[in-house]
Amino acid sequence: MMKFSLILPVYNVEKYLSKCLDSCVQQNCSLKEYEIIVVIDGSPDHSLQIAKEYQTQYPNIKIVEQANGGLSAARNTGLRHAVGEYVWFIDSDDCITANVLRNIYATLTAERLECLWIRWDNVNEAYQIFPLYDLNINRISEIVYTGYDFMKSVLGIYLYAWSFIYRRDFLQNNSLFFKDGMYYEDTEFAFRALPLLKRIRLYNNVCYKYLNRSNSIVNSINEKKLEDICTNMTTAHRFYIQVSDYALKQFYFKCYSSFLLLVMKEAAKSGKKQLKDSVHRVVKRENMIKVFPTGGMGMKMIGHIYNALGFNVAIALLSLLLHHKRVKR
């Protein structure tokens, strides 16, 4: 029986793909028990050749080629080709821990889970571990929750697609796919998927290394990216207003606050007045009066200033701080 489908979207990652594939094949399941679906998303580099070399050694590697459609489209293509009982979306510049699949599968089946949320390490390009931006969980609990209760009790602000391992039939039965052409599509997907879950729990073991690289999508700035951050921020804020449960309100409060502080930082970093004004218009329209200060010490300070003195003062100070940091370098 095919237990897992590991889905790897690939675009311009030839420098990292071998390490990712090595981690995926170094598992304690037989090759007949899991498949690795490599989706070449119109990648112009040598990623396809690297994948083909691995395929000659590992027959459980499937390669799917398509015109470039972005991360969401590549994940959706992988999902449509998947036959495993469980699906794990793995970014192809990251890697997973060796020999984790057997224990993960045992947990998923013993608990009859629709989803398992894993833990991870942030690493730099030298694969040195560095701290998370903010605490990634509210508390460690290995009991089984509904999706809503998991959001209230365990989840923090991180909703990465690769941190959730789903039963494939749960995704199929609920017609869950990623929104094409969107940055930060993980959050938009999680906002739709989590409330539908009846059985989810935390797997309190580090199973994933998340590579933070300077030229990744997350660390680049463009207008479309800021628009999509604002979309997730607005969605979370509207949920925050609508729900009455205090713990669930806090979850959405932290989510929209982290996106607001992030989009302010990105707009300030760009130095473009029109981007700052665009973010401000959304903040005013949605009446985002307060934020939950989150992140490192500097961003928490900006959050407190936002609450005391408002958006304009907070983003002006943030712009000055970022300019000072650039000058010092």
Residue 219: pLDDT over 80:
no
**β-pair type (95-96, 200-211):** antiparallel
Name the CA radius of gyration of the chain, rounded.
20
Give the C-alpha separation, 256 to 166, whole Å. 25
Least confident segment among 14-18, 267-271, 312-316: 267-271
Q: Give the pLDDT of residue 139.
A: 83
CB 93 within 8 A of CB 20: yes
**87 — phi, psi (to 5°)?**
-120, 130
Q: Give the pLDDT of residue 213.
A: 76
Residues 6+ apart with CB under 8 A from 292: 250, 253, 254, 257, 258, 303
State the first-to-last Cα distance of the chain, in angstroms, to the nearest integer.
55
Model confidence, pTM: 0.94
Supply the DSSP string of 193-217, one letter for each residue. HGGG-SSEEEEEEEEEEEE--TTSG
Q: Give the pLDDT of residue 324.
A: 63
- Closest residue by Cα to residue 85 from 2, 190, 161: 2
Q: Note the pLDDT tens digit of each residue in 26-71.
A: 999 999 999 999 999 999 999 999 999 999 999 999 999 999 999 9
Helices 14-25 and 47-57, interaxial angle, to 10°?
A: 20
Supply the DSSP string of 304-328, one letter for each residue. HHHHHH-HHHHHHHHHHHHHHHHHH
Give the C-alpha separation, 226 to 40, whole Å. 26
Q: Note the pLDDT tens digit of each residue in 84-94.
A: 999 999 999 99
135: its two tokens: 């605490």
**Amino acid identity at 33:** E
CB 120 within 8 A of CB 210: yes
Residue 326: pLDDT over 70:
no
* Chain-centre distance for alpha carbon 281: 26
Residue 136: pLDDT over 90:
no
Q: Give the pLDDT of residue 296.
A: 86
